[in-house]
Structures are given as structure tokens and as C-alpha cells.
Amino acid sequence: MIDLHPLRKFRVPIIAECISPDIFQGKNRKEIEGLKIWEGNKQKRLRELFKVEENRKEQQQEETTITIHGDVSKVRRVGAYMTHGELSINGNVGMHVGEEMKGGKITVHGNVGGWAGSAMKGGTIEIHGNVSHYLAAPYRGSSKGMHGGRIIVYGNVGNEAGAYMRKGLIKIYGDAGQFAGLRMHSGTIYIQKDCEARVGASMTGGKIIMGGFVESVLPTFTIESIKEKVKIEENEIVKGPLYLFLGDLTENGKGRLFVSREKNPQLSNYERLL
């Protein structure tokens, strides 16, 4: 169990790929304090930015657990590429949290910057706050999005959540911005509350379930039927009735949009087509 306390309020971006259970594992406090970290264009040591506290309760701990206390919204790439262990952040955190992570768990009690869980392959990210844009979306230009794992957000998310997603699950218990599930290939996105326009633009597969008000459904989606319920994952079912749309036809896609019928009376015109 390792605790990190930021020593001051950070003003310039910090690239902290080294804050990851994989790198901390098997290192003592001295070694951890000596890890290299970039603050702006200057390379520094971890001890210059964070106070490192080690409290091993049990002698033999299997998993490395890291806890960051305080606002680290300028710190990027925390937990990038991690494969195991636990990382929790009590405060806001910056961009690229859990980028390309393969396993383990990240818990954030605060708000998160853009590209959280970017192109992740496995593991879990739980966020008890709001998330900025490009949740789970890959780096600019890349088409290799989220390949697996779970992301659970209890707040709202920005635009393009789950872009280029290929596998895995994103659950959002708040609102979502525009273009949720952009160019999605496979996998599941659940949005409990309201959702802005252009959901599932250019999607070719996968499903997006929307429990709240949807600003509009793209005209390139066709209505298929009305479903009574839909499964999100094992033991979790959303009860309907829900409109089922298929698309995106511009890409010959077979993606499925489930939209709550109760919250979206403006879509009732579609029922004539059934």
C-alpha cells in the first residue's frame, strides 16, 4: 500500500507514466521516490512532486495498491499500461488515465480529464465523478479503440465516448455528450440518463442502450421493433419498452440502438413504420 500526496498545486502538465502498480511493484520507498517524471519540459524525480508514504499492513501483499490523495488534475497518464493491482485517486485527475491498461482496477473519486481508458484492453475503471471527452477513445487517427474491460462512470461524460470501441462495456449513470459510440465496432455502451445528438454515428456493430431522453436519432438508422427488455451484462437488465434502431446505414452497419420509449415521445412517429 503506497500513498502519494502532491507536495504543491501543479501548474504545468505532468506526464506520470511511472505511477502504475506495475512499476511500483517490488520497489521500496527509496526506489519509488527516485522514479523519473516529466513536469512540463523538465525531467524530475517523483519525490520532488509527491510525498511517498509506504504503509504495509501485511507482510506479504500480493497486489500493489496505490492511493493518490489530493487534486492531480494536471497529472496525465496515471496508470497507463498497467496490468494488475489497484490504483485509487481521491481527487480530480488529468488526461489519459489508464491508457491502454490491460488489467487491474482504477477508482477515481473525482473528475477525470479526456481520453480516460484510451484504447484499454482489460481491467476496470470506476469513476465517481464527471468525465471529459473521448472516454475510451483511441489516440487521434487510430482506429483501434477499446478492446476489452469495463468502464463505469457515475457522473456525466463528454463527447465521443466509446469511439472506435471493439469490445468491452461502458456504463454511464449520467448524461452523455454528442457522438457517443462513434464508429463503434462491437461492445456495449449503456447511458442511463439523457444523451445528446448523433449517437452511434457511423457505427458498424455493437449496441448502445439509452435510458433517458435522446436529442435525435440519426436519419441513417431504421427502426426495427420495440423490445420489452435488453440485457447489458450478466444479471443486469434494462426494462423497456425500448425502440430498437439498426444502423448506421452509411457504413452498412449492423449496430443496435435501444432508446427508451417512455422518455422519448418525439420518436413516436417511427412507430408508424413498424
Partner 1 sequence: MELLVKNGFVYDPINDVNGEKMDIAIRDGKIVEKVDENGARIVDASGMVVMPGGVDIHCHIAGSEVNTGRLLRPEDHFRDFERKTSNTRSGVGRSIPSTFTTGYRYARMGYTTIMNPSMPPLEAKHTHEELNDTPMVDKATYPLLGDWWFVLEYLKDGKVEECARYVAWMMTTTKGYAIKIVNPGGLEAWGSGRNVSSIDDHVPYFGITPREIVRGLCKVNKLLNLPHTIHVHTNNLGKPGNYLTALDTMKCVEDLASEDNPAIHITHCQFSAFKGSDWRTVESGAEEIAKYVNNHSHVTLDMGQVIFTDTTTMTADGPFQYNLYELTGNKWVNHDVETETSSGIVPFHYRRKSYVHAIQWSIGLELALLTKDSWKIFMTTDHPNGGPFTSYPRIIAWLMSRKAREATLKRINPRARSKSLLPSIDRELDLDEIAIVTRAGQAKALGLREKGHLGIGADADVAIYDINPETTDPSKKYKTVRRAFRKAACTIKGGKIVAKNGEILKHVEGATMWLDVQVSDPVEITNEMKRRFREYWTVEYENYPVTENYLEVFHPITVKADV
At closest approach, how far in Å is the CB of 244 from partner 1? 25
Give the residue with the Cβ less far from partner 1, 71 or 99. Answer: 99
**Nearest Cα to Cα of residue 140 among 95, 81, 178:** 95
Nearer to partner 1, 6 or 117 (CB): 117
Least distance to partner 1 from the beta carbon of 105, Å? 26
> In degrees, to the nearest 5, what angle opens at C-alpha 134 toward C-alphas 131 and 137?
130
Which residue in 208, 187, 192, 195 sits closest to 154, CA to CA? 192
Beta strands in the chain (DSSP E): 2-6, 14-15, 36-39, 42-45, 50-54, 65-69, 75-76, 86-90, 105-108, 124-127, 150-153, 169-172, 188-191, 207-210, 222-233, 236-247, 255-260
Give the shortest CB-142-to-partner 1 separation in angstroms: 4
Fill in the per-residue mask, 160 to 199: x = in contact with partner 1 (CB under 8 A), - = not in contact.
----------------------------------------
Written as one string, the DSSP assignment of 235-247 is TEEEEEEEEEEEE
Task: Tell me if 266 contacts partner 1 by CB under 8 A.
Answer: no
Tell me how far, at minimum, the Cβ of 178 lies from partner 1, in Å. 21
Q: Is 207 exposed, middle or buried (0-12, 13-18, 19+ CB in 10 A)?
A: buried
Query: Which residue, 94 or 138, has its beta carbon nearer to partner 1?
Result: 138
Least distance (Å) from partner 1 to the CB of residue 166?
14
Residue 141 vs 219, nearer CB to partner 1: 141
Q: Cβ of residue 123: shortest distance to partner 1, in angstroms?
A: 21
Query: Scanning residues 136 to 155, which ones bind partner 1 (CB under 8 A)?
Result: 138-143
Total interface residues for partner 1 by CB under 8 A: 7
What is the x/- site pattern for partner 1, positions 211-250, by CB under 8 A?
Answer: ----------------------------------------
Contact window for partner 1 (CB under 8 A) among 39-47, 80-88, 104-112, 133-141 = 133-141
For residue 88 the three cell numbers come to: 485509487
Contacts for 213 with CB less than 8 Å, ≥ 6 apart: 194, 195, 263, 264
Give least dist CB 160 to partner 1, A: 16
Of residues 6 and 253, the one with the C-beta less far from partner 1:
253
Helix, strand, or coil (residue 33) = helix
Nearer to partner 1, 68 or 137 (CB): 137
**Nearest distance in Å: CB 80, partner 1:** 13
Nearer to partner 1, 105 or 133 (CB): 133
Nearer to partner 1, 64 or 118 (CB): 118
Provide long-range contacts, Cβ within 8 A and 24+ apart, for 210-216: 210/257, 210/258, 210/259, 210/260, 211/238, 211/260, 211/263, 212/175, 212/260, 212/263, 213/263, 213/264, 214/259, 214/260, 214/263, 214/264, 214/267
User: Binding residues for partner 1, per CB under 8 A?
Assistant: 138-143, 251
